[in-house]
Amino acid sequence: MKRIFIILAAAVTACTTAPRGLQEAERLLEEAPDSSLAVLERIAPASLRGRSQRAAYTLLHARAEEACFGFIPSEETAALEEAAEYYEAAGDAPQRVAAWYRLGRLQAADGALSRAIVSFEKALAAAREAKDIEAEGDVRRELAYTYNASLQHVAAARELYASWQAYDRAGEAGKGRRVLLEYGQAWYNFERYDEAEEIFRAVLSEAVAAADTLTQVRCLQSYAALALEKTPADPDLAREMLGRVQDDLLYPLSSADWGVLAYAASLQGRDAEAQRCLAHSRARMETVGDRNRLRFRQYQVDARAGRTAEALKALEDVTAYGNEEDVSALRSAVSLAREDYLQGRRALSEERLRATRMGIWALLMLAIGVASTLLWFLRARRIEAARALAEEKAETERYIGIAEELQARLSDTARQLKQTASGKNEILERLCEQYYIFEGTDKLQGNLLKEARQAIEGLRDDPKVHARLEQAVDAAHDGAASKLRAQLPGCKEDDVRLFVLAASGFSRTAMATLLDKEKGVVNNRLWRLKGRIADSGAPDKELLAGCLD
């Protein structure tokens, strides 16, 4: 017994550990994401019961990794897809937003841009349903990045503007400034320099007022690059902007910033300074994009200095990089498009199979419904027939009961009168005779009803029966019937007859049947008769009133 108890306790503990761990991880996520991640790592996957717990674990794990590391490992993609599909079918709107948003970021990081766009669109729909304006801004911002990576720059700019509007409505000023800056950079890439400059000025003013140093740095860097692209170019303004970044904000210049300074120096005819700036830019290269921008600035400086061969070589490198990037993006797009096509075909086949199964199930349910309706109809008919038979049987039993009651009353009075002994069992004898003769045949009910009806009608109209009942009442109740006639000479014959029936012990139902009156009428007449007796000056009114109780 003790061993069984231990096994049951272990099973209960295994079933409840995972939910408690998930609750603790969710509680720690905002304040201590590393502790939340540690709690999640201690949960064994085998302890997760059902898709609900697995989906909750996957989403919490992804959020904790995002909070701790700033990104979600690509190994989480398959689990996040399963969680997102589960929440799409059974989760609420906030859960769908969180799952689809993080899945979209993972897919975009893996290069599956078309899938990422679909995931972000689902997250956006869920955010609108949840009326979470800040989440809508986050989703639109990531959607803009994905559109930009897939070379849909106009759509990206549109989503950036919508993201800024969402942040503005949500009161997220910091996020709104950063997205608005990116929107201005999109105008810069479209070579709409006047619109971009207006946005940069607005963002810079807000960032200075809010003491947002990082946004100031990004805005000044973009403004410096813009100053060299305007007509006419303003190298002094570019140098001033980057000087504020380095000297006032104490922020180190990037490789791209040194490239801007190199081109500004070249525009002012200071080639040696331009070469020094290019050297600084080369020393701070971190990505392939930095290297390509350096080559472009090298081309600009060499071209203005008259070094044609070096300028052409740098331009060839820039063009080659652009071609390689375009070809790589095209290959990736083709590969993903083929994969999406195959996945779509598989999904279509599964949907057709599901539709076929649903059709079969629908036909089966229709057949079951028709059969159930038919069975219900037949059962209803049987119930109706049984009800009619029961009503007839009840009617028969009622008449038999009345007859038995009459016979019992007559038997009671017959015991007082010797002359009535010969007919005391007449009615019952007739009923028993009919029952004996016709038992088990279709004529039984009809004959019983006929005999009972004859007996009742005889009692209604036979003066001899009335006289015997009156004599029996006189014998049993000290001449009550005769005293009623003598002491209340104004009583009608119907009242005397009602008095005799009541004194004989008949029920209200029997009296109503024998008098051929409604039960309510009999009750009213009895009440009035009691009142007349009570109000009269009859010497024996107590005796008479007692016969009616």
The tens-digit pLDDT sequence of the chain (549 residues) is: 445 444 444 444 444 446 778 888 888 888 888 888 888 888 887 788 888 888 888 888 888 888 888 888 888 888 899 999 999 998 899 999 999 999 999 999 888 888 899 999 999 999 999 999 999 999 999 999 999 888 888 999 999 999 999 999 999 999 999 999 999 999 998 989 999 999 999 999 999 999 999 999 999 999 999 998 888 999 999 999 999 999 999 999 999 999 999 889 989 888 899 899 999 999 998 888 888 888 888 888 888 888 888 878 877 777 776 555 554 555 555 555 565 555 666 767 777 888 888 888 888 888 898 888 888 888 888 888 888 888 888 877 877 877 777 777 666 555 544 433 343 345 556 666 655 565 566 666 666 666 666 666 666 666 777 777 778 777 777 787 787 778 777 777 878 787 787 887 777 787 777 777 788 887 888 888 788 888 887 788 788 777 777
pLDDT at 417: 46
pLDDT at 12: 44
Residue type, 496: V
Q: Is 353 exposed, middle or buried (0-12, 13-18, 19+ CB in 10 A)?
A: exposed
pLDDT at 329: 52
- Return the residue matching tokens 């038992």: 439
pLDDT at 175: 93
| DSSP collapsed to 3 states, 83-138 | HHHHHHHHCCHHHHHHHHHHHHHHHHHCCCHHHHHHHHHHHHHHHHHHCCHHHHHH
Residue 26 neighbours by CB distance under 10 Å: 17
The pTM (predicted TM-score) of the whole model is 0.58
Residue 383 neighbours by CB distance under 10 Å: 10
